[in-house]
Amino acid sequence: MHELDKAEKHSTPEISQLPRLALSNSNILVWIREELNKQGDVTRNLIAYDLTKKQSKVISRIDSPMALPSISDKYIVWSSSGNIFVYSIVEDKVISKINANEHVFPRVNNEYVLWNEDENLVIQHIQSGEKYEIVDEEPFFYGIGQDIVVYQIDESILTYHIEDKRTKKLNEKKATLPYIRNNDVVWQEINGNVTNLRVVNIHE
């Protein structure tokens, strides 16, 4: 067992008990730590913890209270001050900033950043900067895997194949809250008064 978060004065008890975590395949965990400084003001830091090396570091100060980091094996992304920040784990620095609205909740894989912009789902290639819209309505929930985007519109779970730009519906019954890790998609499926978890490997 690892003790990861040693902030002396968390701003609320809930934050110390239930941080919003993101974990990469390379065993790096990231979260936003809020604590009170000596003046009683709330400060926010993006923390990365290497579970293999048992080492933590502060990646950046965060302005936005709604910044939720996302991590892949190569990058960490978060939103703050009207920008999406793309941090290279290998280079140990922010390599780009994407102008965006507040609270766009970016997600990242090893090539692309995905976020919600003006009620549309937008994707941008990290190296080339190529950006395009993949969904022209606001998704309720979304994520990005190795080469697949998953999102929810109304009660439908859909995937978008980045390479060939194909869209496919996954669920047959009422569904909600999709999540993707690599090529595996999980969601809640509701059948009357019963809620089940469904898991699908996209490439099987």
Query: What CATH number does the domain containing 196 carry?
Result: 2.40.10
Q: Are residues 113 and 50 in the same domain?
A: yes
Same domain flag for 63 and 143: no
Nearest CA among 66, 72, 67, 73 for reference residue 85 = 67
Write down the pTM of the prediction. Answer: 0.86
Looking only at the bridges linking them, the beta strands covering 28-36 and 22-23 are: antiparallel
Both 74 and 26 in one domain: the answer is yes
Q: Which residue has the higher pLDDT, 19 or 176?
A: 176
Confidence of residue 15 (pLDDT cuts 50, 70, 90): very low
- Range of the structural domain that residue 190 is part of: 139-204
pLDDT at 11 over 70: no
pLDDT in tens, 82-116: 899 999 999 999 999 999 876 688 999 999 999 99
Residues 188 and 166 in one domain: yes
Domain boundary pick from 109, 138, 167? 138
User: 22 and 71 share a domain?
Assistant: yes
Residue 148, pLDDT > 70, answer yes
Q: How many domains does the chain have?
A: 2
Residues 129 and 29 in one domain: yes
**Shared-domain flag, residues 130 and 160:** no
Contacts 24+ apart (CB under 8 A), 23-30: 23/71, 24/71, 24/72, 24/73, 25/72, 25/73, 25/182, 26/52, 26/73, 26/89, 27/51, 27/52, 28/71, 28/89, 29/4, 30/59, 30/69, 30/71, 30/76
Q: What percent of the chain has pLDDT over 70?
A: 88
Question: Is residue 191 pLDDT above 60, yes or no?
Answer: yes
Closest CA to 192 of 174, 177, 178: 174
Phi-psi region of 39 (alpha: psi -120 to 50; beta: other; left: phi over 0): alpha
